[in-house]
Structure 1
Amino acid sequence: MSTSIQYEEEWLKMAADGDELAFTHLFHAYKFKLYGFISKLTGSPATAEDVVQDVFLKLWKDRKSLRDVDSFGSYLFRMAQNHAINGFRKMAREENVIRQLQTDEAPAHSSPQSHISLKETRELLHRAIQQLPPRQKAIYLLSREEGVKHEEIARRLQITTGTVKNHMIQALRTLRETLSRHPHSLEILLLPCLVFPFC
Structure 2
Amino acid sequence: MNSTGLTDFEIWTSFKKGEEWAISYIYAEHAEKLYRYGLKFTSEIPVIEDALQDLFAELIKNRKNIGDTDNILFYLLKSFKRKLLRKMQTEKRFVSDEELQEYHFDVTWSIEHELILEEVSEQKSKMLL
TM-score, reference length from structure 2: 0.62
Aligned to 1:35: 35
Q: Percent identity?
A: 26
Q: Radius of gyration: which is bigger?
A: 1
Deviations 1:170-199 (A, max 9, x none): xxxxxxxxxxxxxxxxxxxxxxxxxxxxxx
- How much does 1:27 deviate? 0.7
Residues 34 and 77, structure 1, Cα contact 8 Å, conserved in 2: yes
Aligned to 2:15: 15
- How much does 1:50 deviate? 1.0
- How much does 1:13 deviate? 0.9
Aligned to 2:51: 51
Relative contact order (alpha carbons < 8 A, sep ≥ 6): 1 or 2 greater? Answer: 2
Deviations 1:129-154 (A, max 9, x none): xxxxxxxxxxxxxxxxxxxxxxxxxx
Aligned to 1:86: 86
Unaligned 5+ residue runs, structure 1?
94-199
Change in Cα spacing, 1:29 to 1:86, as seen in structure 2 (3 Å) is same
Unaligned 5+ residue runs, structure 2?
94-129
Q: Which moved more, 1:67-76 or 1:19-28?
A: 67-76
Change in Cα spacing, 1:26 to 1:32, as seen in structure 2 (3 Å) is same
SS of equivalent residue, structure 1 residue 33: helix
- How much does 1:18 deviate? 0.7
The RMSD of aligned alpha carbons is 2.1
Name the aligned partner's letter for residue 80 of structure 2: A
TM-score, reference length from structure 1: 0.42
The separation in 1 between residues aligned to 2:88 and 2:47, in whole angstroms, is 10
| Structure with a larger share of its residues in helix | 1
- 5 Å matches for 1:151-170? none
- 5 Å matches for 1:120-131? none
The separation in 2 between residues aligned to 1:61 and 1:69, in whole angstroms, is 17
- How much does 1:90 deviate? 1.2
Residues 51 and 83, structure 2, Cα contact 8 Å, conserved in 1: yes
